[in-house]
Structure 1
Amino acid sequence: TETIDTEADRFARTLEQGMDQFEKIESRGGKAISGADAFRLHDTFGFPLELTRELAAERGVEVDEEGFRSEMAGQRERSRHAVTHGWALAKDIPTSEFTGYQELTSETRVAGIRRSGEGVDSAVEGDVVDVFLERTPFYAESGGQVGDTGIITTPSGRFRVEDTQKPSEGAFAHLGTVITGEVRVGEKATAAVDDKRRRQVMRHHSATHLLHKALRETLGERVVQKGSWVGPDHTTFDIPLNRAISKDELHRINRRVMEKVREALPFHESQKPYKDAVAQGAMHLFEEKYGDIVRVVCFGDWTCELCGGTHVRNTADIGTAVIVSESSIGSGLRRIDMVVGESADELVARDRDLLSEMARSFNAGPEAIPERIRALRAELKEKERELARVRDQLQTARVGGGDGFVVKHGRVDYVAQSVEASNIDELKAYADRYLERVKSGVVTLVAGDKFVIKVSNDLVSQFDATRLKDLFGTGGGRPQLVSGKLTVPAQEAFRRLEEALA
């Protein structure tokens, strides 16, 4: 009874403080309670968003819930920062027994709650906090595998787990939001991992083990994992290699992975002394720090690695595996991107639909599409060359026919003229034609906000184009030719040029 009375008194004080603050906010006038104000009511005074919404409706004003959610997202990022930085030195972070290798739902108890790095006794609807459990099936991000998501349910509330991190050894921080009611330290809880998402992550992680082995078979034993990221939608795998992996090699690697998927190799794991595991040939990362006892993960007798991640029970559970791409991520490093399971099935279906659409467009079978594309590209290049020839002839005709062509005379002959040109290359081509007629002089042409200055070779020592450009705007080039963008009206630029050459 004493505990209930204390809780009631605390809630009454919270309500009173929140009401005072709400009245102050509402008295400012306005048609809505801002997201920042709603968040401050919630975060500082424990005022639930639902209550703010009801009070606002009674007074005929709205609540900026989008802004509230944005503020919440900001707090979530601050909270995550606290996990990886602020908590590293904390001595009182509760540790958890990890049950996620055996089950995806565990009966447990709430061991701790933290808000922005500070311990609290409870969290209410809308609170963004980190929950710690005595036992947890949630895998914390480690070894390249993302953290689990899911739901934690207690008798008084529900908590949505949006990420799981390891602030210290043995500690599992479940990051997320209270979605209904209240979650309290000491309560019994049911922790349920998002089953579908976890299984997709497991498929991708197991596939990276097959990929690693296939890469070493195809490219040589020197190829070892330098990094990886394993998520529910795709996985990336980094290796040391100072060249691109050929298309043929990628096909062979992908085929090898799928061979092992179809062989349905069974998963088995064991705990061994580190030295024994390495001596028996288990793959490991030389940069990684391992304990005296390690977990060895194998698929059949084809591949064994030191790994703490979660995996499928049989390689057949991986389903389809597709290498999407390989690319350079730095000097001597290549990255392979791969999708498996549902993600791969969706990719194959999209590619099949695209191929069918292209076949209909070309009125040809799928096997004829590459040749049709090559023919179209060749035809396009020929059309571009033909267009360039026509444009060149037109420019020559316009300049040769005196189309607006005026040579002005100062210390040297020069042309200062606006022309029609769609790009800087066309403008440079016009400058070539004009200078052919002037022979010795300076040609300055403007089209829209672009300009070109070209100086005949015999005058470069006297009139450097890179200096003349300052009369027109910004740009670059060499003493004979510069191009750039006008920063003054064209007529003003031409006037400046006339003064400079007078």
Structure 2
Amino acid sequence: YDTYGFPMELTEEIAGENGMTIDTDGFEAAMKEQQERARAARADVSAKVATPDTTKLDQSKLVNDPSATKASIVMIGKGGVEVDTAAAGEEVTIIVDNNPFHAEGGGQLGDTGTLSGEKGKAQVTDAKALPNGLVYLIATVDEGTLQTGDAVDVTVHQTRHLNLARNHTATHLLQAALRKVLGNHVNQAGSLVTPDHLRFDFTHFSPVTQAELDAIENLVNEEILKNIPVTIEEMSIDDAKEKGAMALFGEKYGDVVRVVSVDDFSCELCGGSHVDNTSVIGSFRITGESGTGSGVRRIEAVTGAAALALAKNESRELQQLADMLKAKVGDTTAKLEALLAQAKGLEKELAQLKKDAAMSDMDSILAGKEDIGGVSVITAEAQADSMDNLRDLADSVLDKAGSGVVLLGMVHDDKVNFVCKVAKADVKRGLHAGKIIKAAAQAAGGNGGGRPDMAQAGGKEPEKLADALKAGADAVRELLG
């Protein structure tokens, strides 16, 4: 329930159908424990990333410059308290005056990198922003010490940063393509932009078909191949709306907003990092489509090197398949279709052979007929491999016998299965297939029941099949009185 959202009521219904009940008190207790764990975890995370009071800082002197390589440390915090020095092994928050790190936001992860000074070095594991826009770094000192006022070399992990930018710009292209293919009712319902892949949730009333996914993927790749500059402008919210910029429903925006545009294909309000030109994305591949809730779908995709790696893996697997089929790559579909058709024909032939083998027991089964109270009763072990074949055999035996009771059992997968048929005329005499088969199944460690004229059941003790068949015959005697 907590991890996947599977309704407790549905669990309760399924359990009831299988003769079980739900421990509601236990569920409520477990949920309470989980809520307490979640609150504690949030508190731990908040304590780790809490910043000291930053109101004393002159924010006008703090610059966000993606090209910056040198800066000075203006504040260090540990556990939400300002400190002067951070030593090796300590996780701290750091604010620098010239910041090249892009902060987490809009579904995009923050940048990572390093800070290196004369006395120490730290690994930046995330970049976040306060509500007023002030960017702070989460870092772990791994060498020496860092102090407030230290001059440091700042280095952003550029490959990771570029992969984030690729995936974020591709997310914008994806949303525009979704609206063009599926309709203008599509709106963003959530997103995640990582260096490895992107995830986009959107409003839509049904699963996206493969043909629609192909059209969406093609549209995005067409814009990538057009080599279009990505423009980023700051303007008033009114000008942005007039320009047609897409905004997130329920999101709060200031008077001045950042608008990211790809020609006339995509225009959105966004604070994330982006490529300068669509061609930098390389290529775009959709890797999955699924539903996350009522009226919300999710698309996952990759770009750049990840898309290339996916294509290489698929090509390798296709070549392996071709080698296994002893065919050329271009002929694998036709060869596989031919093999599947051949296998289907063989399955039908095998099924018929098994059915014929079961029917070949007909004479020996009929020979075991006995008269119980004037009713023809046939009980026998059958050589069948499925319930379908066992039912067919029981039908045929009853047809041959003309009337009476047929109870057949078979051993399959370390279990025993039974089918019982009673002729309509004998049902009127008080015989009941469900009661007969119940007696047989119970003798073999199982249970069951069914209609007066037909029933099936199973047991867990195949070694007691003979005893079970005898129990079925005894049940006939009891029913006839």
The normalised TM-score by structure 1 is: 0.68
Following TM superposition, by how much is the alpha carbon of 1:493 offset from its aligned partner in structure 2, in angstroms? 11
Following TM superposition, by how much is the alpha carbon of 1:467 offset from its aligned partner in structure 2, in angstroms? 8.8
2:17 corresponds to which residue?
none
Equivalent residue for 1:433, pick from 374, 382, 393: 393
- One-letter amino acid matched to 1:429: N
Structure 1 position 92 matched with structure 2 position 53: yes
- Does the residue aligned with 1:385 lie in a helix, a strand or coil? helix
- One-letter amino acid matched to 2:389: A
- State the alpha-carbon separation in 2 of the partners of residues 193 and 353 from structure 1: 34
Structure 1's 180 and 484: CA in aligned 2 closer, same or farther, altered over 3 A?
farther
Structure 1 position 450 matched with structure 2 position 415: yes
1:82 corresponds to which residue?
43
After superposition, the C-alpha distances for 1:466-489 in whole angstroms (9 at most, x for unaligned) are: 797666567888555455673x68
- State the alpha-carbon separation in 2 of the partners of residues 181 and 475 from structure 1: 73
Structure 1's 217 and 158: CA in aligned 2 closer, same or farther, altered over 3 A?
same
Listed as ranges, the matches of 1:411-430 within 5 Å are 415=379, 421=385, 426-427=386-387, 429-430=389-390
Structure 1's 121 and 493: CA in aligned 2 closer, same or farther, altered over 3 A?
farther
2:181 corresponds to which residue?
218
1:11 corresponds to which residue?
none
- State the alpha-carbon separation in 1 of the partners of residues 449 and 63 from structure 2: 66
Structure 1 position 114 matched with structure 2 position 86: no
Structure 1 position 131 matched with structure 2 position 93: yes
Between 1:463-472 and 1:277-286, the stretch displaced more is 463-472
- State the alpha-carbon separation in 2 of the partners of residues 402 and 461 from structure 1: 18
- Does the residue aligned with 1:238 lie in a helix, a strand or coil? strand
Following TM superposition, by how much is the alpha carbon of 1:104 offset from its aligned partner in structure 2, in angstroms? 6.7
- State the alpha-carbon separation in 1 of the partners of residues 39 and 86 from structure 2: 17
- State the alpha-carbon separation in 1 of the partners of residues 449 and 120 from structure 2: 68
Structure 1 position 236 matched with structure 2 position 208: no
CA contact (8 A) 2:358 2:382 kept: no
CA contact (8 A) 1:326 1:335 kept: yes
2:226 corresponds to which residue?
263
CA contact (8 A) 1:475 1:482 kept: no
2:344 corresponds to which residue?
381
- State the alpha-carbon separation in 1 of the partners of residues 222 and 421 from structure 2: 68
CA contact (8 A) 2:442 2:468 kept: no
- State the alpha-carbon separation in 1 of the partners of residues 370 and 85 from structure 2: 85
- State the alpha-carbon separation in 1 of the partners of residues 68 and 396 from structure 2: 80
1:346 corresponds to which residue?
309
- One-letter amino acid matched to 2:53: D
CA contact (8 A) 1:109 1:189 kept: yes
1:463 corresponds to which residue?
435
- Does the residue aligned with 1:272 lie in a helix, a strand or coil? strand
- Does the residue aligned with 2:258 lie in a helix, a strand or coil? strand
- State the alpha-carbon separation in 2 of the partners of residues 143 and 231 from structure 1: 11
Equivalent residue for 1:498, pick from 449, 468, 471: 471
Identity of aligned residues (%): 30
Listed as ranges, the matches of 1:4-403 within 5 Å are 81-82=42-43, 92=53, 102-103=66-67, 105-109=69-73, 111-114=75-78, 124-127=87-90, 129-135=91-97, 136-165=99-128, 170=133, 172=135, 174-175=137-138, 177-183=140-146, 187-398=150-361, 400-402=363-365
- State the alpha-carbon separation in 2 of the partners of residues 199 and 322 from structure 1: 17
- One-letter amino acid matched to 2:390: Y
Following TM superposition, by how much is the alpha carbon of 1:310 offset from its aligned partner in structure 2, in angstroms? 0.3
- One-letter amino acid matched to 1:81: R
CA contact (8 A) 2:434 2:450 kept: no
CA contact (8 A) 1:107 1:190 kept: yes
CA contact (8 A) 2:122 2:143 kept: yes
Structure 1's 156 and 89: CA in aligned 2 closer, same or farther, altered over 3 A?
closer
CA RMSD of aligned residues (A): 4.3
Gaps of 5+ in 2: 1-37, 399-403
Structure 1's 146 and 316: CA in aligned 2 closer, same or farther, altered over 3 A?
same
Gaps of 5+ in 1: 1-76
- Does the residue aligned with 1:226 lie in a helix, a strand or coil? strand
CA contact (8 A) 1:225 1:239 kept: yes
Structure 1's 462 and 208: CA in aligned 2 closer, same or farther, altered over 3 A?
closer
Following TM superposition, by how much is the alpha carbon of 1:309 offset from its aligned partner in structure 2, in angstroms? 0.5
- State the alpha-carbon separation in 2 of the partners of residues 236 and 382 from structure 1: 43
Structure 1's 378 and 461: CA in aligned 2 closer, same or farther, altered over 3 A?
closer
- State the alpha-carbon separation in 1 of the partners of residues 100 and 378 from structure 2: 81
1:50 corresponds to which residue?
none
- One-letter amino acid matched to 2:237: Y
Between 1:455-464 and 1:261-270, the stretch displaced more is 455-464
- State the alpha-carbon separation in 1 of the partners of residues 348 and 409 from structure 2: 26
- State the alpha-carbon separation in 1 of the partners of residues 168 and 371 from structure 2: 74
1:8 corresponds to which residue?
none
After superposition, the C-alpha distances for 1:11-48 in whole angstroms (9 at most, x for unaligned) are: xxxxxxxxxxxxxxxxxxxxxxxxxxxxxxxxxxxxxx
Structure 1's 280 and 428: CA in aligned 2 closer, same or farther, altered over 3 A?
same
Between 1:171-180 and 1:353-362, the stretch displaced more is 171-180
- State the alpha-carbon separation in 2 of the partners of residues 384 and 229 from structure 1: 47
- Does the residue aligned with 2:300 lie in a helix, a strand or coil? strand
CA contact (8 A) 1:108 1:191 kept: no
- State the alpha-carbon separation in 2 of the partners of residues 408 and 106 from structure 1: 102
Between 1:399-408 and 1:310-319, the stretch displaced more is 399-408
- State the alpha-carbon separation in 2 of the partners of residues 408 and 122 from structure 1: 100
